Amino acid sequence: MKELIDAIVAMDEEKAIALTDHMIDDNIDPMKILDAYRDAMAEVGRRFEEGKFFIPELILSGEMLNAASEKIKPLLTAANKSSKKKGKVIIGTVAGDIHDIGKDIVTLMLDINGYEVLDLGIDVPVAKFVEAAKDFNPQVIGMSGFLTMAYDPMKNTVAALVEAGVREEIKIMIGGGQMDNQIRDYVGADAFGKDAIEAVKLCDQWIK
């Protein structure tokens, strides 16, 4: 795991892919492999903050994680997928924000844990969340955001759902890099989830 994290942080894409393939062949728990990618991304983020890394490093590390997710997704799906759906969830990265790696992991985990998930993608306008809420009729909406700039689009989305008269019957969870319980209060959501496991737990709690 340490070698994999070091390879990602060193931007050695070839080595990272080779190590990932090795671990998959050796039947290492796919969630542990994803955890290693997450730890590496956290380190990449720290170096970006310190001015040691720049946008190209962010893009390359994001691409490495996406490539690994593509390899890991079928393994998780095959192991856990149940055919009976527990409920419906809409998810999207809010307006102005294009980070989708975390959202995609949440979508994958909800999917393999039995939820029907409508993924609205990135930079999702407020109106698109409202329209989808009316058409898809979900029990839960998940908003993802990695930027401080995402706070207000989240708040506006909740306000628009209230305005449209659908807020009462829908639980709203938020998550992503800069989110926490204080921001949950600010935007008027029901819960903050720190990772994909918590997103699944919240839905399990809400949808009995």
* Residues 6+ positions from 36 with CB-CB distance below 8 Å: 1, 4, 5, 8
23 vs 64, beta carbon nearer ligand B12:
64
Number of Cβ within a 10 Å radius of residue 125: 17
The reply to whether 92 sits near ligand B12 by the rule CB under 6 A is no
79 vs 98, beta carbon nearer ligand B12:
98
Q: Which two tokens stand for residue 205?
A: 């709690």
The reply to whether 158 sits near ligand B12 by the rule CB under 6 A is no
Pick one of 6, 13, 35, 195: the residue that binds ligand B12 (CB under 6 A).
Answer: 195
Cα separations in angstroms, 114 against 82, 84, 124, 208: 6, 7, 24, 13
Pick one of 13, 24, 28, 48: the residue that binds ligand B12 (CB under 6 A).
Answer: 48
Residue 67 CB, shortest distance to ligand B12, in Å, is: 12
The reply to whether 41 sits near ligand B12 by the rule CB under 6 A is yes
Q: In the range 170-189, which residues lie near ligand B12 by CB under 6 A?
A: 173-178
The reply to whether 58 sits near ligand B12 by the rule CB under 6 A is yes
**Sites of contact with ligand B12 (CB under 6 A):** 38, 41-42, 44-45, 48-49, 55, 58-59, 61-62, 96-103, 105-106, 142-144, 146-148, 173-178, 193, 195-196, 198-199
